[in-house]
Structure 1
Amino acid sequence: MQSSSSLFPVALMSAERRGDLVEDVYRLKPGNSPDSSVELVVTRLGRVDGPEVRGTPVILLHGSFSNRRFWYSPKGIGLGPYLARAGFDVWIPEMRGHGLSVRNQRYRYNRVADYARYDLPAIASFVKELSSQIPHWIGHSLGGTTLAAALGGQYLDQDSAASVALFGSQVSRTYWPLKLPPVQWSGRLLLKPFEHISGSRFKRGPEDEPIGVALESMRWHGLFGRFGERDNNWWSGLAEVRVPVLAVAAAGDHQDPPWACRLLLERFGSAQRQFLCLSREQGFTEDFDHVRMVVSQAAQEQVWPQALQWLQRQPVGESLPVAGHEVVAEQV
């Protein structure tokens, strides 16, 4: 099959009509990482009534133990279809070994560092090629953490991200036992023999996570650990980021609590930074939790419009000038 891209081999796996939406599924083979077997599947959603007109591109990144169905259910419900119906050109990648993306040869060694350094830039380049616009990004949980890593590591910049929205994403929650070297060493020895952590077995989600991601997270939270690679301090690099950033936290989220989500936001050097806490205190009908902040009827009515308004306020294909470093708390 002829490639759908001039950048690297891309195959159009399917092109279907899903009710009032069109769904195009692409398989990317970037060949830009040490593991040449990596393939990434990206689903595009657009409106049936204007297939020849592409709106502003938005890329949605799922979190751990998840896949594209977090954003887009088989019945056409989700933040992805919602944004597509509002006129945006929606792209939903599935990370290595998740959903339609097959497991690469070195699957067990996959890390956030690989997603940030190799996969996100390739996805951004492909979306830019097809849309001729700089995409916006929305990430949930580990998806948002990966976005922060890519920005802090300077693998994504203003030429590949028009704005970024982080839902339930943080790296500052402390796991004190991991600060003790014997506990850290014992944990690593216990995990290393395994290829992955089962999402279904531990009731975390429909997908598995490679053991490399777990070992990487342990290193971040260990004694003298930091958010980054040995040769690239992502936490420090966030101060150089100039992309508009929205951080959305949920008052009932005990996995990624609001204080930690806000701390990540405050590391960004962006002129436009906005924090939104989904809580009764801020006028919402409930204290949302880690999943319901995106996937629930209440989120559809109260949270999705907030995401849409954020995107609609951003300039198309350009970043805002640097004018200050104030964090704005939005009252809803």
Structure 2
Amino acid sequence: MKIAQQDIHVPVSAHEQLYLKRLWQPVRQDAPAVLLLHGVMANGRTFYSASGKGLAPYLAAHGYDVFVADLRGRGNSTPRIDRHARHGQTEIITEDLPALHAAVRHIRGDAPLHWLAHSWGGVHMTSCLLRQPQLIPQVQSLVYFGSKRSVHVRNWRKRLEVDLMWNIVGRLLCRTLGYLPARRIGLGADDETDKSHRQSKQWAQVAPWVDSDDGFDYAAAARQHRLPPALYFAAQNDPCRGHPEDVRRFRDESGNHLSRLRLLARHKGHRHDYDHLSLLTHPDAPFDHFPLVLHWLAGQYDRVVENY
């Protein structure tokens, strides 16, 4: 079945546009929609490649209308992040995600809509729903890959990647250049603003789940509202960016909601001990755990067994 593609630009200010890449089968007029969101130092290419590989083409081939987002200043969104960029995590939660959601709803109307994310994108999505609970009934389900909010684990990889590179080197670069040039220095696929780096750094340090701009308490909101059914994937070979214990903590602090946590590990019956990226990009993923995503999106929750 031929997969069509479309470039969509979503204004969020007088001078800023978000980018959505749409992949779908035009013959499927009733296809459910999915919105995919990347994590920090990344963009939507996390979910697709030029050769047609990845979660986005996989979902499109299985009948879903797929919308892959680039957050403000990343990927094909404009303008690119530089020292003049002032937006951060709060704007992603309160402006970018609602605008992306509204754009998909404008195109697809009342078609069922699911939200999927990698890494910190899951934190952004959950925070958005808790802060704007009127959106919760409009989202059928959630699927998160390696999403954690705070880093509790202690090991040498955490000391190197989080404590040294993210916290110290990243902060020094932001203070010197006005933003984090992660793409230029090979630290990530895309850059981060000074504000987004500072805010995500605060949350990752086992700090309260509170917005630094206005004090909004996401943890308190999680006790008041019930998220859509959520499937959490954690990778066995992910020592700090999405350690399974930190993924579990994020699930638990997100309130009482129907959920499953799947550990992608050989000793749990999966083909590999995946890492933070290969759980999405490995050639075996479509034959190993991507089918579980299809079950979840179809509402077949009993077919996805928690194994952690």
Higher helix share: 2
Q: Following TM superposition, where does structure 1 have runs of at least 4 consecutive aligned residues deviating by more than 4 angstroms?
A: 104-107, 184-190
Deviation at 1:141, TM superposition (A): 0.7
Structure 1 residues 1-332: aligned runs within 5 Å:
20-31=2-13, 36-48=14-26, 50=27, 53-103=29-79, 108-132=85-109, 133-154=111-132, 157-174=135-152, 191-221=174-204, 225-229=207-211, 230-239=214-223, 240-254=225-239, 255-313=241-299, 330-331=306-307
Q: Distance in 2 between matches of 1:107 and 1:163?
A: 36
Q: Distance in 2 between matches of 1:190 and 1:43?
A: 31
> 1:49-72: per-residue Cα shift (whole Å, max 9, x none)?
x16x14000001112222222111
Q: Distance in 2 between matches of 1:164 and 1:291?
A: 19
Partner of 2:7, secondary structure, is strand
Q: Distance in 2 between matches of 1:221 and 1:173?
A: 5
Residues 248 and 76 of structure 1: is their aligned pair in 2 closer, same or farther, counting only changes over 3 Å?
A: same
Q: Distance in 2 between matches of 1:202 and 1:175?
A: 26
Q: Distance in 1 between matches of 2:104 and 2:284?
A: 31
> 1:214-241: per-residue Cα shift (whole Å, max 9, x none)?
1112332558x32231421112322323
The one-letter code of the counterpart of 1:196 is Y
Q: Distance in 2 between matches of 1:250 and 1:256?
A: 7
Partner of 1:59, secondary structure, is strand
Which structure has the bigger radius of gyration? Answer: 1
Residues 192 and 251 of structure 1: is their aligned pair in 2 closer, same or farther, counting only changes over 3 Å?
A: same
Residues 60 and 84 of structure 1: is their aligned pair in 2 closer, same or farther, counting only changes over 3 Å?
A: same
Question: Relative to structure 2, which stretch is displaced further, 147-156 or 61-70?
Answer: 147-156
Kept in 1: contact 2:43–2:190 (CA 8 A)? yes
Q: Distance in 2 between matches of 1:118 and 1:286?
A: 38
Structure 1: where are the runs of 5+ without partners?
1-18, 178-183, 316-327
The two structures have a TM-score, normalised by structure 1, of: 0.78
The one-letter code of the counterpart of 1:92 is V
Q: Distance in 2 between matches of 1:88 and 1:25?
A: 17
Q: How many equivalent residue pairs?
A: 290
Kept in 2: contact 1:128–1:134 (CA 8 A)? no
The one-letter code of the counterpart of 1:77 is K
The two structures have a TM-score, normalised by structure 2, of: 0.84
Percent of pairs with identical residues: 27
Q: Distance in 1 between matches of 2:84 and 2:93?
A: 16
The one-letter code of the counterpart of 1:243 is P
> 1:103-141: per-residue Cα shift (whole Å, max 9, x none)?
268863221211111111111112112112241000001
Larger RCO: 1 or 2 (CA < 8 Å, sep 6+): 2
What residue in structure 2 maps to residue 318 of structure 1?
none
Q: Distance in 2 between matches of 1:219 and 1:111?
A: 13
Residues 29 and 20 of structure 1: is their aligned pair in 2 closer, same or farther, counting only changes over 3 Å?
A: same
Q: Distance in 2 between matches of 1:95 and 1:251?
A: 28
Structure 2: where are the runs of 5+ without partners?
160-166
Kept in 1: contact 2:74–2:190 (CA 8 A)? yes
Q: Distance in 1 between matches of 2:145 and 2:134?
A: 18
Q: Distance in 2 between matches of 1:226 and 1:289?
A: 27
Kept in 1: contact 2:5–2:24 (CA 8 A)? yes
Partner of 1:108, secondary structure, is coil
Q: Distance in 2 between matches of 1:128 and 1:138?
A: 16
> 1:54-96: per-residue Cα shift (whole Å, max 9, x none)?
4000001112222222111111111101111111111111111
The one-letter code of the counterpart of 1:233 is D
Residues 188 and 21 of structure 1: is their aligned pair in 2 closer, same or farther, counting only changes over 3 Å?
A: closer
